[in-house]
């Protein structure tokens, strides 16, 4: 799963990496947690990429009352087409949820406190989690765009810490993922195999300061091993 991640780009024009040319007023975030707004890239009706902020926690289109909980922050890629909640967004509303690292926690044999690890690219460049999004509108006209992150079996870097990980889409697959064309399940599975081989991450032990979602700043990613 993915329950906490970062986006603290070193360059103000980091969205160029996702072929978004507009500037964005953005504050570095070192401890993003469910229920917050996250940065999402999608293709709009004019087939142009756009970056927006969306609620992290998918809100079903058919939901009648406003309830922006955090029940659906992740979706398992293996069963993405088996649940009504995820099937239509997967076919029609795919997105990239922008990050530059994520956290997982490992149980320690000699302590009740789990060791947090920070996973990121060696060059600390931003990347896109595979995501799906939904558009919700209340009877009174209030609009909320929401999203969730697709997960898969952990690769060799993440597996010693956690059995699941977010799908990280390589740059040369952005167009395929963001396209409005339907992706067949068999083609999606083949894509996952290729993506897994291309996902190169660095594992860094960090301190328990990150455990509290209220804690922010670079201290969250400072190297520390219990």
Distances in Å between the Cα of 201 and the Cα atoms of 135, 145, 168, 176, 205 are 32, 30, 10, 22, 13
104 is catalytic: yes
- Contacts by residues 161-165 (CB-CB < 8 Å, ≥ 24 positions apart): 161/104, 161/105, 161/106, 161/117, 161/203, 162/1, 162/104, 162/105, 162/106, 164/1, 164/2, 165/2, 165/102, 165/104, 165/119
181 is catalytic: no
Q: Which of 2, 95, 147, 148 is catalytic?
A: 2
Q: Which of 95, 104, 134, 148 is catalytic?
A: 104
Catalytic residues: 2, 104
């Amino acid at each position: 799963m993915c329950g906490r991640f970062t986006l603290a780009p070193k360059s103000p024009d980091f969205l160029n990496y996702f072929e978004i040319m507009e500037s964005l007023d953005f504050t570095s975030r070192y401890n993003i947690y469910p229920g917050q707004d996250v940065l999402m890239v999608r293709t709009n009706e004019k087939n142009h990429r756009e970056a927006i902020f969306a609620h992290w926690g998918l809100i079903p289109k058919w939901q009648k009352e406003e309830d922006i909980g955090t029940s659906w922050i992740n979706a398992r890629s293996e069963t993405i087409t088996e649940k009504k909640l995820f099937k239509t967004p997967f076919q029609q509303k795919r997105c990239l949820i922008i990050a530059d690292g994520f956290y997982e926690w490992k149980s320690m044999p000699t302590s009740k406190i789990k060791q947090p690890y920070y996973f990121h690219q060696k060059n600390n460049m931003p990347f896109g989690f595979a995501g799906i999004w939904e558009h919700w509108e209340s009877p009174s006209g209030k609009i909320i765009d929401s999203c969730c992150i697709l997960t898969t079996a952990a690769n060799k870097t993440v597996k010693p810490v956690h059995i699941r990980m977010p799908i990280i889409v390589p740059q040369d697959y952005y167009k395929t993922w963001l396209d409005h064309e339907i992706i067949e399940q068999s083609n999606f599975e083949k894509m996952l195999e290729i993506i897994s081989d291309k996902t190169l991450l660095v594992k860094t032990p960090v301190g328990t300061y990150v455990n509290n979602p209220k804690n922010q700043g670079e201290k969250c990613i400072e190297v520390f091993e219990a």
